Homo-oligomer: A and B are copies of this chain.
Amino acid sequence: MTDISMIEAAQARLDGHVRRTPLLSSPFLDEIAGRRLFVKPECLQHTGSFKFRGAWSAISALSPEVRAKGVIAFSSGNHAQGVALAAKIHGIPSVIVMPSDAPRIKIDNTRAYGAEVVLYDRANEDRDAIGARLSQERQLTLVKPFDDPYVIAGQGTAGLEIAEQAKELGIEKADVLVPTGGGGFISGVALALEAKAPDFVVHPCEPEGFDDVARSLASGRIERNSTQSGSLCDAIITPQPGAITFPIMSRLCGSGLVVTESEVLHAVALAFNRLKIVVEPGGAVALAAALFHGETLGETVIAICSGGNIDPNVFRLALDQSAI
Of B20, B275, B312, the contact of A44 (CB 8 Å cutoff): B275
Check A272 against B276 for contact (C-beta < 8 Å): no
A133 at the interface (CB under 8 A from B): no
Q: Are B308 and A312 in contact (CB under 8 A)?
A: no
The answer to whether A258 has its CB under 8 Å from any CB of chain B is no
Contacts of A19 in B (CB 8 A): 22, 24
Interface string of A10-30 (1 = CB under 8 A from B): 000000100111101001100
Identify which of residues 63-110 in chain A touch chain B, using a CB-to-CB cut-off of 8 Å.
85
CA distance A273 to B275 in the complex (A): 16
Chain B residues, Cβ within 8 Å of A272: 278, 312, 315
Q: How far, in angstroms, from A24 to B277 measured CA to CA in the complex?
A: 13
A316: CB under 8 A from chain B? yes
Q: Do B273 and A276 have beta carbons less than 8 Å apart?
A: no
Q: In the complex, A153→B82 CA distance in Å?
A: 39
Q: Which residue of the partner chain B has the closest CB to A319? A: B312
Expressed in whole angstroms, the Cα–Cα distance for A21 and B41 within the complex equals 12
Complex Cα distance, B24 from A43, in Å, reads: 11
A113 interface hit (Cβ, 8 Å): yes
* A62 within 8 A of partner (CB): no
Across the interface, A308 reaches (CB within 8 A) one of B28, B168, B276, B319, namely B276
Q: How far is the CA of A27 from the CA of B22 in the complex (A)?
A: 21
Give, as a whole number of angstroms, the nearest-CB distance from A324 to chain B: 5
Q: B22 to A44, Cβ gap below 8 A?
A: yes
Give the residue of B48, B112, B168, B276 whose beta carbon is less than 8 angstroms from that of A43: B276
Could you say which of A276, A278, A312, A316 has the most chain B C-beta atoms within 10 Å of its C-beta? A276
